[in-house]
Structure 1
């Protein structure tokens, strides 16, 4: 391209903000990881777990039943963004909310060095933290 050729102006409207959040922390020495998660129709998803750092996601296809500690469960649909602060917060649900369609979502995580990006939470800990779980009316 030379200086006399017209330039595209598409970049001026190409960006759509999906979410903005204040990140509570980024672990020192964190590394980033982006994954795609795919659950078949009706799959309950991952057991309760936590991440060592913040995680940011986007639903590509289907519907997810999403629940973080302290927040009521909600349905996220294709095109919805989500995030979780990581650290001590329990992620209770990320299952496929549809019985007849797959769920695909992408997640970018900032992981603490030397710690797994995904740690299951056992039943004993879930019982101790039950008072922190929000319930829908």
Structure 2
């Protein structure tokens, strides 16, 4: 099976994004970018990790609901918080940012973080973390917040290499009636959340729908394809980890690798 490496800037229709390093103080995300087929990608937040092999890493994703005017706290693994509804006031260390629907912010590892809902309505947010085995049991939110665990990888993320890595959260919008894209896999790993629409995911000759509010995990060795046959855009939140300087997406030059039978 032959493979080709592609950087983010030349891949069309694959779920990737352009990276920027998030500073301690919040910075505005760049404007969405477009590439072939009308796919839009917007980088929401990103950080550099000096090493991911010092301890096994997992993906963990939860959805958290905070009543209006109430707050919760967090201190744990590095990750990202993305507002799904309502407004969310986030203070992490010395950094402060007000999130509205669709905004995201980096939550640094081992940093005291307070998340408070606005005065008028509850805040619902997505929290995607990259814990070590020792951090897996740490609470993702405290009372009065309520949270639903959407996905935790059953075993450590395989195939991670020594050296620095990039950890990024991107919003990807696939246009209506987008045909199936070429077979590909990730060089690291990715965790997805289907924000709206329904995508079709193909791997191993089988195709299944991925509707809204579903979490989805892709390790490095999963050859697959995506399509959006529906009449509405498919919007995906993607948290990706990949080795610094290594393309996140690898095309697989095998026509039957992910195609449905």
12, 15, 20: which one pairs with 2:152? 20
167, 181, 185: which one pairs with 1:46? 181
Contact 1:75–1:97 (CA<8 Å) still a contact in 2? no
Contact 2:202–2:260 (CA<8 Å) still a contact in 1? no
76, 96, 101: which one pairs with 2:228? 96
Ranges in structure 2 where 5+ consecutive residues have no aligned partner: 1-69, 73-140
SS of residue paired to 2:147: coil
2:243 is aligned to: 112
Cα distance per residue 1:24-72 (max 9 Å; x no partner): 243322221211111111112532212110110000010010123x473
Could you say which structure has the greater relative contact order, defined with CA pairs below 8 angstroms and 6 or more residues apart?
1
Structure with greater strand percent? 2
SS of residue paired to 2:239: strand
Q: Distance in 2 between matches of 1:111 and 1:102?
A: 27
SS of residue paired to 2:152: coil
SS of residue paired to 1:19: strand
Change (3 A) 1:71 1:110: farther
Matched, 1:61 2:192: no
Contact 1:39–1:45 (CA<8 Å) still a contact in 2? no
Runs of 4+ in 1 over 4 A off after TM superposition: 7-10, 132-136
Contact 1:59–1:80 (CA<8 Å) still a contact in 2? yes
CA RMSD for the aligned pairs?
2.6
Structure with greater helix percent? 1
Deviation at 1:74, TM superposition (A): 0.9
